[in-house]
Amino acid sequence: MTTQPTVPQATATAQAKPKFEFTTPEADTHLNALIYGEYGVGKTTLAASSVEVAGMQDVLYVAAEAGEKALKQYDNGHLTVVRVNQYATVARVYEWLVLHTRYRDAGDIEKLAQLESMITGVVPSTPKQFHTVVLDSLTEIQVYLMYQLMGINIGASKLDLPPDSPEFKEWGQSSEMIKLLIRSFRDLRMNVIIVCSMEEKEDEKKRQLKRLLLPGKLATSVQGFLDAVCYLDKVKTDAGPAWRLWLSSGQTFHAKNRFGPTAPEYIDAPTMAKLYDLNKTSTKETTDNGHTSTASSPSSSSTAATVRGPVRVGGNRGPVRTG
């Protein structure tokens, strides 16, 4: 006689809700991207154009380079600027946004208004609802972090006294803290645009390679944290000089994207609207096969994607490098 296995009684522990949930790859259509290029090429202007995109409004612009003058043309009521010259201020902005996005997603207008009044001193009848944060620039934020680690205080430290040189410990701390900063902002329930300056380094073939202006291996390691690393350049065309945003690598610069196989190599006359639409469309194209699920924290909320046809705004001459 065959004995049937007994089914153990469910325990309270077994019935407890897991610490994760099933979702789908296209559920989060937020854009997270890093834009780098030479000084004055138009990175700030490009990032600020996010205020013209309905799906990215309102925009919180964290200005670490005192470049607010370039933002005046985008003052349409959906842009709020926070000027920073200390790393600690950037950390406080992140903590504020954690609460802001929580109340925003819950539709709690009263708490949103109270949170905003902590900054302005006035309780607004219609509080801001931020869907995009811009960090401009990561290069300057890293400098402020190093100042903090070395005890240098802008506006208080004596200008005629040379500071101590950073040692191995400070470089290591700075690197890990910047990585944590990028990961933390990236995981916010909003679009995250990071601007970074550029430097040129000569390689063994005497080529001038363009790279992020960040110390040591940080310049390459942080690129893996984001869906897109874009190189902004001015190129010569038959019609004259034009701006081009590269989404895949060239011989002297690195770029990447996770926008799928139909993503172009570059965007001419780039705007955040073009990049945002490309992100939304390609995310849907490459993941909507009905067989893929991913795990997420129970605290995350889903955002439905708006689906359109393929976006072709640049060349597509071969395989797109993604990472």
pLDDT tier, 26 (very low <50, low <70, confident <90, very high otherwise): low
Summarize the confidence of residues 297-314 as an average pLDDT: 38
The residues pairing with 231 across neighbouring beta strands, listed in sequence order, are 36, 246
Contact 272, 46 (CB under 8 A): yes
Query: With 80 as the cut, is the pLDDT of residue 303 above it?
Result: no
- Of 29 and 282, the one with more pLDDT: 29
Q: For the chain, what is the mean pLDDT?
A: 85
What angle do helix axes 138-150 and 87-106 make, rounded to 10 degrees? 120
pLDDT of residue 4: 61
The residues pairing with 294 across neighbouring beta strands, listed in sequence order, are 23
- Of 98 and 203, the one with more pLDDT: 98
Q: Of the ranges 5-9, 87-91, 313-317, which is most confident?
A: 87-91
Query: With 50 as the cut, is the pLDDT of residue 167 above it?
Result: yes
pLDDT of residue 51: 97
Which tokens belong to 225?
Answer: 């944290």
Q: Of the ranges 72-81, 173-182, 305-314, which is most confident?
A: 173-182
Count the neighbouring beta carbons within 10 Å of the beta carbon of residue 17.
7
Which tokens belong to 280?
Answer: 């939304």
What domains does the chain contain, in order, with CATH numbers?
21-296 (3.40.50)
Query: With 70 as the cut, is the pLDDT of residue 2 above it?
Result: no
The CA distance from 244 to 151, in Å, is 40
Contact 234, 41 (CB under 8 A): yes
Query: With 90 as the cut, is the pLDDT of residue 21 above it?
Result: no
pLDDT tens digits, 59-105: 999 999 877 777 888 888 999 999 999 999 999 999 999 999 999 99
Query: With 70 as the cut, is the pLDDT of residue 239 above it?
Result: yes
Handedness of CA 294, 300, 301, 304 (dihedral sign): negative
Query: With 70 as the cut, is the pLDDT of residue 141 above it?
Result: yes
* H or E segment to which residue 89 belongs: helix 87-106
